[in-house]
Structure 1
Amino acid sequence: MTTRLLHLAAVTLLATLALQTPPAEAIDSASLPSSIRLANARALIEAKDWKGAIAELQGVDAPNDPDWNNLMGFSHRKAKKPDYAAAERFYDAALRIEPSHRGALSYSGELYLMQDNLPKAEQRLTTLKLVCNNACLEQDRLAQAIARYKAAGNKYVPEPEEPAQTSARAAQ
């Protein structure tokens, strides 16, 4: 199911719950199923609300899920005050659980560029080439990030602003 469909399902469920809940009662996000909370976190990531996404993901607390770890790493890396150490821990956890997780491989490669660690970023790209059989969005994204890094004299250059929907979908 795509992120857009998950988000639509979450919104529909929340709207249904709101209609069934007496107005005096507030819907407690903590009482929602994990799948809905993950959809909410993805929607917050799409909206670039990193703090909100981290809070929602912490409420889910699924440390054995590679996607959850990847989303946590992504949110920590993109936050207004990035926490690169936390991002790396979450990406590494995702890759311990699922060594071929394309999102975690690509995004951790970008993190390494941000930390001026080109050899580790290139290592992630090599792994992505194997995982993707030389053809996937995550491999292309990291290859372009490495090319921008090298062209800028070994300085990290963020990806040109992209539609939020694309970044949220890629963070999965």
Structure 2
Amino acid sequence: MILNRLPLLPLAIAAALACSPAFAAGSSDTAGSAAPAGMNEAQAAVDAGRYPEALKLLAGVIKTEPRNADALNLMGYSNRKMNRLTEAARYYDAALKVNPKHIGALEYQGELFVEMGDYDRARQNLKLIAAICGACDEVIDLRAALDAKGQS
């Protein structure tokens, strides 16, 4: 009986991983592939709120992989958290040029639009994300950012 279910085990594992918080975060474009040198350290710096350190590490990643949408997205995020909104916008645009369906970049760019008071563009990003992933965490987070400004 159990042997009949073994072929389904990889699917069950994949489903469990897709629902885990780390995988569902949506900021990653390269799930399952090896992270480039410096990327894990940069992510740790971002997670700890050490944005200047993260920017330095991410610059190294982008130097070796200029089309790394995850690194470009985190550059945007770190700049936004440092209130460097023009730089943040530039990096989100670059990440989305590499991967127009990068839900992490779409969410963070939407949050940037909310911070800038551009609620229509934030809602456009919300619709794009919802079309890609349904009711994923990124949709919930961007909707919350809009709701906090009374713009749902």
Question: What residue in structure 2 maps to residue 97 of structure 1?
Answer: 98
RMSD value over aligned CA atoms? 2.3
Q: TM-score, normalised by structure 2?
A: 0.73
Q: Which residue of 2 aligns with 1:24?
A: none
Return structure 1 stretches of 4+ with deviation > 4 angstroms. Answer: 1-4
SS of match in other structure, 2:149: helix
Letter of the aligned partner of 1:74 in structure 2?
Answer: Y
Give the drift of 1:121: 0.3
Instruction: Give yes or no for contact 2:37–2:61 (8 Å, CA) kept in 1.
Output: no
Check if 1:141 corresponds to 2:141: yes
Where do residues 144-163 of structure 1 align in structure 2 (5 Å cutoff)?
A: 144-150=144-150
Residues 33-89 of structure 1: CA deviation (Å, up to 9, x unaligned): x7231101011111100000001111222321111110100110012xx21111111
Aligned residue number for residue 67 of structure 2: 64
Residue correspondence of structure 1 range 9-158 to structure 2 within 5 A: 35-61=36-62, 62-79=65-82, 82-132=83-133, 134-150=134-150
Q: How many residues align?
A: 121
Are residues 118 and 3 of structure 1, via their aligned partners in 2, closer, same or farther at CA, if it must alter by over 3 Å?
A: closer
Percent identical residues: 34
Gaps of at least 5 residues in structure 1 are 5-33, 155-172
Residues in 2 aligned to 1:78 and 1:116: alpha-carbon distance in whole angstroms: 16
Contact 2:110 2:122 in 1 (8 A): yes
What is the aligned partner in structure 2 of residue 7 from structure 1? none
Q: Is the 8 A contact 1:106 1:128 kept in 2?
A: yes
Amino acid at match of 1:55: K
**Contact 1:3 1:42 (C-alpha < 8 Å) held by counterparts:** no
Unaligned runs of 5+ in 2: 1-16, 23-34
